[in-house]
């Protein structure tokens, strides 16, 4: 009975966790993890573009997380999402021409969305990534230009948010975690929190 009560207490407990993000999409998605009580902080980090989407995302997540972790003893979560296609890594478009070029690259092809999750608990740092494949249909000028002219692409990896209604006609299919494409892989993040915070070295363990 004592073990069961301890287990229940850990499940019902809320954990203050610093989230190194200003993304409104991530702020909404973190609410799906019920045990987390998020404290949002902005990190002014210069994002790198490296050899692969995986390397780029994990490096940037470490940079963001490291900045936030330097200022608090609380657990810290940070994320970085990038799009990889062939040998290209697509971050956020810098201007209209850049956004148009991204859509011309993405349309009619399959690309990979990678989100890296950084978690710091005490002195322990964990970085894991989730990958989702997305296929776009052919380039549709009206859909693409209307979307770009709305201003929506400029804070999004690859220039789009799969949640945006205006982008739906371009998406043929996706394979993997939908929320990963939005910017926060909920299942992976929850798993890391459970393993390293709730049931970690300082928590309850059966």
Of 80, 97, 142, 175, catalytic: 80
Q: What is the pLDDT of residue 204?
A: 35
Q: What is the pLDDT of residue 8?
A: 42
Q: What is the pLDDT of residue 12?
A: 54
Please say if 206 is a catalytic residue: no
Q: What is the pLDDT of residue 97?
A: 95
Tokens of 41: 């902080």
Report, as ranges of residue numbers, the positions in the chain whose pLDDT lies below 50: 1-10, 202-206
The whole-angstrom separation of Cα 96 and Cα 104 is 12
The whole-angstrom separation of Cα 3 and Cα 172 is 49
Pairing of β 36-41 and β 15-20: parallel
DSSP 120: E
Pairing of β 36-41 and β 171-175: unpaired
Kindly report, residue by residue over 89-108, the tens digit of the pLDDT: 998 899 999 999 999 999 99
Q: What is the pLDDT of residue 2?
A: 39
The whole-angstrom separation of Cα 176 and Cα 180 is 8
Q: What is the pLDDT of residue 7?
A: 45
> Cα angle vertex 42, ends 75, 46, to 5°?
105
CA atoms within 13 A on the CB side of 110: 7
């Amino acid at each position: 009975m004592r073990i069961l009560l301890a287990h229940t207490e850990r499940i019902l407990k809320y954990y203050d966790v610093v989230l190194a993000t200003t993304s409104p999409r991530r702020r909404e998605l973190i609410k799906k993890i019920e045990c987390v009580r998020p404290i949002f902080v902005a990190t002014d980090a210069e994002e790198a573009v490296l050899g692969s989407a995986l390397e780029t995302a994990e490096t940037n997540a470490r940079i963001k997380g490291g900045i936030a972790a330097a200022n608090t003893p609380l657990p810290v979560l940070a994320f970085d999402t990038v799009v990889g296609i062939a040998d290209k890594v697509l971050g956020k478009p810098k201007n209209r021409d850049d956004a148009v070029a991204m859509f011309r690259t993405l349309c009619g092809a399959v690309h990979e969305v990678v989100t890296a999750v950084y978690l710091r608990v005490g002195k322990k740092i964990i970085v894991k990534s989730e990958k989702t494949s997305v296929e776009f249909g052919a380039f549709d000028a009206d859909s693409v230009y209307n979307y770009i002219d709305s201003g929506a692409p400029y804070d999004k990896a690859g220039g789009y948010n799969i949640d945006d209604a205006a982008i739906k006609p371009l998406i043929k299919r996706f394979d993997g975690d939908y929320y990963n494409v939005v910017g926060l892989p909920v299942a992976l993040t929850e798993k890391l929190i459970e393993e390293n915070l709730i049931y970690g070295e300082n928590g309850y363990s059966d």
